[in-house]
Structure formats: C-alpha cells, structure tokens
C-alpha cells in the first residue's frame, strides 16, 4: 500500500482536527484501512471509528507500569507466553509472526525490537520499534491505527485477544519495507536478521545429505545459535507456519542400533507432536529406565518434545540458523548456557579500478579484491567453528533486482608460510588451495558455517563480475580465539628506482622484473632500460633545444618543452603541465619553482602504454614504493580514468607519493626541533 501512513482526521494538521479515542487519556485502538490497497481482488475501505478493544495491552506493559527497566524484565509464565505467540497470520504472510514467535524465548532480544509500551501510563498514541539495517539499528515510529477490511484486522494476531504487540510490530515493519503488501516477499531468514542483526543461514533439510545436516546440528546447538525450523505440511500434529526451535540432541539405543533424537520447542503453543517419540509413544518403552529418566528430564517446557532425526529431516521444509553475536549473547540471559561466538566486523567497499576484482575465475583482477587473513592457533579441540558472512548494502524498501551477485572464497596458506603483510599478486593467489568458493547469489547476505583446523587462511570477498561497486559488511564469527586482520601494506619507499634503471651494473630482483613485465605488458625489463637510457641520450644529443634548457635550472614549462622533444620514444602522448610541475616539485624541497638541470636527465619515464588500475600496486612495487590499501584507493580515485591509468598518470602518482614522503620526513625533522607554523604547513600542502 503506497500511503500506509497518512494524516487522519482528528490529528493536528488535518482540517477536521478533533480529540479521538486512542489519544492521551483515552487509550483505544482505532481501525484503519489504507485507501486503494487491494488484497486478493478485494479493495480495503476505511472502517468506522470505533474501539476494537476497550483495554488493549502491549508486550512488557506490566513491567513498565511497575517502573522496571528492560534489563529488569522477568520472563513471562510459559502459559501466558504460549498464548501471546499462538499466532494467526494475517494477509501479509507468516514470516514476521514466525520470527517473533521464535524470539519469544529470548525476551531481551525481542524487547530491543519492541520496547515496552503502556496504554495507561504516559500514552501518546506513538509506538517505537527498532530494526537492524546493514549494521545499525533504525527506529521506526507508527501510530495506533491498524489496517482492517470489513472490520477485521488485516495484520497477524496472537492468541491473546487484547494484545496488540504483533499487529503494531507488523505495521512498523511494513513501514520499513515500504508497504504491507511487500511483507509477502519477505522470507523468515530476512525477518530474523532484521529483528536480531545476526548472521542468518537458511537450509532445506530434505535436500541436505543426512550426515551433513546432523553435523550442522551438532555444531550449532551448543553454541549461541538459534535453530528455527518450520514446515509446510501439517503432519502428525505439526502446525504449518509455526516456529519450532531445535534445543538439543541425544543418541538412543534402538532395536536396529543407535539413533539420533532431536529435541524441539514449539514456539507459541503446546507440543502437539503425535508421531514417533512423542509423549506416550511406544518407542519409549524400549529404553532402559536410566535413559528414559534422562530424556524425560530434559523436557523442561510444555512446548518441548522429542523427534527422531530422520523424521526431522523429512518433515521440516526450512531450517534457519541465527548466529547471535557476542554483544547480544551478553544481553540475553537465555543464551548464557551456550558457548558464545567471537566476532570480527569490517565495513569495506568494492571500488572500480581498485578492489572490485570479481570472482576467482577473473585471474587478471581477482587478486585486487579485499583480502582478510585468519590465523587459527592450535587448541585442545583441534578445530575451530567459523561462520563467514558477506552482506552487501541494501535498502529495506528497495527491489531485490538492484542487488549484485556476491560471494567469497576461502584459501588455505601453505604450512609454515609467514603471515602475508601485503595483498598477494595474481600468480601467488592462484597458487593457493581454495577450501571453499561460495556460489554467488543476488541476495543481501551470503554466509557459510564450517570448521577449520589450526592454520592460516585467506578470506576474499568478491562480486560476481569485475568493476561492480557497492559497500559490503564482512563478519567472521569463531568459537575459538583467532587473529583476523585485513592484509595491508606499509607506506614506505624502499629504493631509488631511477638510479637502478640507469645503472647497468645494478641487477633487478626477479620479483621486481616480473612485476614490471606484468605491469607494462609484453615489453621486457631490458627494453625499459633502453628506453630510459635512450631518452637520456636523446636529451644530451639534441642541440635544437631552447636556451632555457641548457641553463643551470629550469621550471615546469622548460621541463615540459624538453620532454616534448623526445616524448614519442617513451610516451603515448605529450607530457602535461601537471606532470612536469609534479616532477619539478619532487626535486625542489626549497619550493623555488625550479629544478637543477642535472636532476632532469635521469628522471624520465619508461612506459609507453596505459595500464590497468588494478596493476597500480605492482607498478609501485616495481618503482620501489609500497602503499597502504587506503593510499592506493586514493591514488586510483585521483588519477585513474575508469579502470585505466595513462603513463602520464602513473608518473604523476609516483611523483606525488615521493613528494609526500619527502614532505613527511621534512615535517618530522622540523617537529623534533621547532614546532611547524601554519604557513609552512600550507606551503607543503599546496606545493605538491
């Protein structure tokens, strides 16, 4: 519905403003329908203004009226809780009702989404809800009007007739999503993430190998992970659309051998399971008394029941794994009996020409993707459970068609290899063993849950093709102590590359030669040497230069005139004034605007073709300069055109880097003796 929230008669700002029931001093809920919204071919109409409940209630209102804070809330009695969340889905589907019923057993997490309100104490007609949107909590405010058709609420309702927590929550969630109709396209995994901010995975148990599914249950149940199962078939007492929480596992001795049992908790109602291993079923008679007492003692809630693992895998169509982070584990006492996750979060952006390298199949650019190193130390268990999640930036009310295909790859580093201190080159990344490469998906989030032995690993998020730009959120959860950091480089100048190129007796390291060859294409390093030496010789032999060139000093214009005499030998285009100005500034620490003639003869570039911006790091390495990820990103933003770098831009970027290092060293030496003045700082910034 396009205008779900609108000014209604009786509100300030409307011509017919009057005091209506439902405002301060007269709490009541007013039925309301959005004009023009059609559901199943029936047009909703505005209902008459009438009280649909004389004494409405809201979650936590009793505690609020008693003056208690959220962390002082007491758990509701099991019977009241079951009645409140015995949900009847509305016209917008059952995803939200299923998710809220599942969270009813973690009351602190639910109270964060729906803070307590009271219809009797300081009532204003406004209700505030909070939803997780891409790493932050967004507040949504709604009034007390609810959509109806024929006097019947269109929203979901709980078992308590006078409780309006779920209808108002659904209205707020519809406002976040853009309309009530858009809720039909929301799955349970999406809603669970919006209500918890957790990493959520979704499985289809019938389609999973039984051994893998059992391994997932064994790994997730003891940890801070909610397992929410649902079914589409009402078989043996199971209710379609109802949430069932997996809370335990057990092994029993059966006639055919050992079998696995799954303990479930029916959220929002008593256990109605009537199949094998239900209460009073004949399977219990075959158990020894000790096992019988042990399993029966674990049914601590009226909604608890046991089911065989085989029937669980056959009957439940969906299984959501909600991995709760460490902060929320501390917030929720109901999770303290489980092992908490440790979390690392990084918010980054894929940027064209810099780190939007695409999937591993794109061998020329995949190395440029962000790389995160994970070190798993040795532990008593010998393995570490890991959850890796990549979430791309999204709009809750936006179309899913606007999402990019995203994924990630996990590589294993060779045993004994030193931790990487700089992003790996294309060949080095291709040589690594890929443990897992997720199938890219046009989804908000792609996540994987697996175990890793002690060792070193590389996590590389990527888009489904190169050059796609978007912000993403990387979350890595582990149950053991691990070290996680982004692979980065230092900002340092390691050699005077001009001297090395001109000195025939100074050999270049093999990795430097490979980097140069990769950067400039098919031309070899020796050819580059000849270019530089040939340019220098051409400058010395050219007798037709202007007199300014042969003076002891020259400015940017004179340098440009000099270079334009021989640019065809080494450059695809004439050198620009900006390039010459940067070269002059590079050798002009006194800011005189002129450069010694002798310094010009060895400062010529040797590259004739434009290069890919993704190769800028290799180009800098070849030139003896190392730059951090952030500096490299700024260089691409400043000097690249799309995904290409012209030779002019390469030399200009290199000159700016050298100049910045010189300015920093000068500033560092200056501050050791005397404080720097504002004028000196301005001169260093402007003359660069």
Domain end call among 145, 160, 187: 187
Mean of the per-residue pLDDT values of the chain: 76
353/356 Cα distance (integer angstroms):
7
Q: Which of 166, 61, 162 is nearest to 104 (CA)?
A: 166
Q: Which residue has the tokens 């078989």?
A: 235
Q: Per residue in 242-277, pLDDT tens?
A: 899 999 999 988 766 788 999 999 987 777 899 899
Residues 475 and 398 in one domain: yes
Residues 6+ apart with CB under 8 A from 664: none
**Which domain does 518 fall in, by range?**
493-687
Average pLDDT over residues 280-304: 84
Angle, helices 525-541/510-520, rounded to nearest 10 degrees: 80
Which of 190-199, 496-505, 541-550, 638-647 is predicted most confidently?
190-199
Residues 272 and 213 in one domain: yes
| Within a domain: 193 | no
Residues 500 and 482 in one domain: no
| Within a domain: 601 | yes
Residues 538 and 652 in one domain: yes
Q: Is the pLDDT of residue 531 over 70?
A: no
Residues 206 and 140 in one domain: no
592 or 179: whose pLDDT is higher? 179
Residue 8: what pLDDT? Answer: 35
Residues 81 and 216 in one domain: no
Q: What is the pTM of this model?
A: 0.78
| Within a domain: 192 | no
Residues 6+ apart with CB under 8 A from 24: 123, 124, 125
Q: Residue 151, SS3? A: coil
First to last CA, the chain: 56
| Within a domain: 663 | yes
110/651 Cα distance (integer angstroms):
57
Average pLDDT over residues 207-220: 95
Beta 30-32 vs 145-149: how paired, if at all?
A: parallel
Q: DSSP assignment, residue 598?
A: H
Residues 177 and 230 in one domain: no
Q: Could you give the number of structural domains in the chain?
A: 4
Residues 452 and 479 in one domain: yes
Residues 315 and 357 in one domain: no
Q: What b-and-e string marks burial along 348-375, b requiring 16 or more CB atoms within 10 Å of the CB?
A: bebbbbbbbbbbbebeebbbbbbbbbbe
Q: Is the pLDDT of residue 307 over 90?
A: yes
| CATH code at position 223 | 3.90.70.10
Q: Residue 250, SS3? A: strand
Residues 504 and 410 in one domain: no
| Within a domain: 11 | no
What is the C-alpha radius of gyration for the chain, rounded to an integer number of angstroms? 33
Q: Is the pLDDT of residue 541 over 80?
A: no
**In angstroms, how far apart are the furthest CA atoms of the chain?**
109
Domain end call among 335, 363, 396: 335
Q: Per residue in 101-135, pLDDT tens?
A: 999 899 899 999 998 887 877 788 889 999 999 99
67/65 Cα distance (integer angstroms):
5
402/398 Cα distance (integer angstroms):
7
Residues 409 and 521 in one domain: no
Sign of CA dihedral 523, 526, 528, 531: negative
Average pLDDT over residues 542-566: 49
Q: Which residue has the tokens 């459970």?
A: 385
Question: Per DSSP, what are the bridge partners of residue 407?
Answer: 462
Domain end call among 335, 364, 398: 335
| Within a domain: 147 | yes
Residues 169 and 208 in one domain: no
| Within a domain: 69 | yes
| Within a domain: 38 | no
Q: To which H or E segment does residue 534 belong?
A: helix 525-541
Residues 6+ apart with CB under 8 A from 684: 663, 666, 667
Q: Is the pLDDT of residue 187 over 80?
A: yes
| CATH code at position 372 | 2.60.120.380
3-state helix, strand, coil in the chain (%, to 5): 35, 25, 40
Q: How confident is the model at residue 301 (pLDDT cuts 50, 70, 90)?
A: confident
Residue 39: what pLDDT? Answer: 39
| CATH code at position 601 | 1.10.238.10
**For 438-548, where are the E strands, in sequence order?**
445-453, 455-463, 470-478, 483-486, 492-493
Angle, helices 556-570/525-541, rounded to nearest 10 degrees: 130
322 or 436: whose pLDDT is higher? 322
């Amino acid at each position: 519905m396009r205008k779900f929230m609108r000014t209604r008669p009786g509100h300030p700002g409307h011509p017919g403003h009057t005091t209506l029931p439902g405002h301060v001093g007269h709490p009541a809920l007013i039925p309301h329908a959005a004009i023009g919204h059609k559901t199943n071919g029936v047009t909703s109409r505005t209902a008459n203004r009438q009280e649909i409940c004389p004494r409405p209630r809201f979650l936590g209102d009793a505690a609020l009226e008693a003056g208690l804070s959220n962390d002082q809330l007491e758990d509701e009695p099991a019977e009241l809780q079951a009645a409140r969340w015995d949900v009847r889905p509305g016209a917008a589907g059952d995803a939200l009702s299923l998710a809220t019923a599942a969270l009813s057993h973690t009351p602190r997490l639910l109270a964060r989404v729906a803070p307590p309100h009271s219809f009797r104490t300081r009532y204003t007609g406004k209700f505030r809800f909070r939803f997780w949107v891409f790493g932050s909590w967004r507040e949504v405010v709604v009034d007390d009007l609810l959509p109806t058709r024929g006097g019947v609420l269109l929203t979901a309702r709980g078992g308590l007739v006078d409780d309006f927590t779920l209808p108002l929550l659904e209205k707020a969630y519809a406002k976040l999503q853009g309309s009530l109709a858009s809720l039909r396209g929301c799955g349970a995994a999406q809603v669970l993430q919006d209500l918890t901010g957790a990493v959520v995975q979704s499985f289809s148990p019938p389609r999973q190998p039984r051994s893998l599914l059992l391994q997932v249950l064994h790994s997730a149940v003891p940890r801070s992970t909610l397992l929410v199962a649902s079914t589409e078939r009402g078989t043996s007492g199971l209710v379609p659309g109802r949430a069932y929480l997996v809370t335990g596992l057990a092994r029993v001795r059966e006639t055919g051998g050992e079998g696995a049992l799954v303990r479930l908790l029916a959220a929002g109602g008593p256990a109605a399971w009537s199949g094998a291993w239900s209460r009073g079923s004949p399977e219990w008679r075959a158990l020894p008394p000790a096992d019988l007492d042990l399993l029966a003692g674990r049914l601590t809630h009226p909604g608890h029941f046991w089911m065989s693992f085989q029937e669980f895998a056959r009957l439940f169509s969906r299984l959501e794994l909600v991995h709760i982070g460490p902060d929320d584990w501390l917030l929720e006492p109901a999770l303290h009996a489980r092992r908490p996750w440790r979390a690392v979060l990084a918010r980054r952006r894929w940027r064209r020409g810099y780190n939007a390298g695409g999937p591993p199949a794109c061998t020329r650019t995949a190395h440029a993707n962000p790389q995160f190193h994970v070190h798993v130390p040795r532990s008593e268990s010998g393995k570490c459970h890991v959850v890796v999640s990549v979430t791309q930036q999204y709009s809750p009310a936006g179309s899913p068609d606007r999402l990019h295909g995203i994924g990630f790859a996990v590589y294993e580093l060779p045993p004994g290899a030193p931790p990487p201190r700089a992003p790996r080159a294309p060949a080095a990344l291709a040589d690594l063993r890929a443990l897992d490469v997720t199938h890219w998906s046009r989804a908000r989030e792609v996540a994987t849950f697996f175990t890793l032995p002690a060792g070193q690993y590389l996590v590389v998020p990527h888009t489904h093709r190169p050059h796609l730009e978007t912000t993403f959120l990387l979350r890595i959860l582990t149950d053991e102590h691990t070290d996680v950091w982004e692979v980065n480089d230092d900002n340092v100048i390691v050699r005077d590359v001009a001297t090395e190129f001109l000195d025939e007796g100074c050999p270049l390291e093999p990795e430097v030669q490979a980097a140069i060859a990769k950067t400039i294409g098919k031309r070899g390093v020796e050819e580059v040497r000849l270019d530089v030496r040939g340019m220098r010789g051409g400058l010395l032999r050219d007798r037709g230069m202007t007199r300014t060139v042969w003076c002891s000093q020259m400015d940017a214009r004179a340098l440009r005139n000099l270079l334009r005499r021989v640019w065809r030998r080494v450059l695809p285009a004439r050198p620009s004034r900006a390039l010459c100005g940067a070269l002059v500034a590079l050798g002009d620490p006194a800011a005189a605007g002129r450069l010694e003639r002798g310094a010009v003869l060895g400062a010529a570039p040797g590259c004739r073709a434009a290069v890919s911006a993704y190769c800028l790091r290799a180009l800098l390495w070849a030139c003896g300069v190392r730059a951090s990820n952030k500096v490299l990103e700024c260089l691409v933003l400043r000097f690249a055109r799309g995904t290409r770098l012209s030779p002019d831009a390469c030399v200009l970027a290199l000159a700016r880097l050298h100049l910045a290092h010189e300015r920093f060293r000068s500033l560092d030496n200056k501050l050791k003796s005397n404080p720097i003045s504002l004028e000196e700082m301005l001169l260093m910034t402007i003359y660069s």
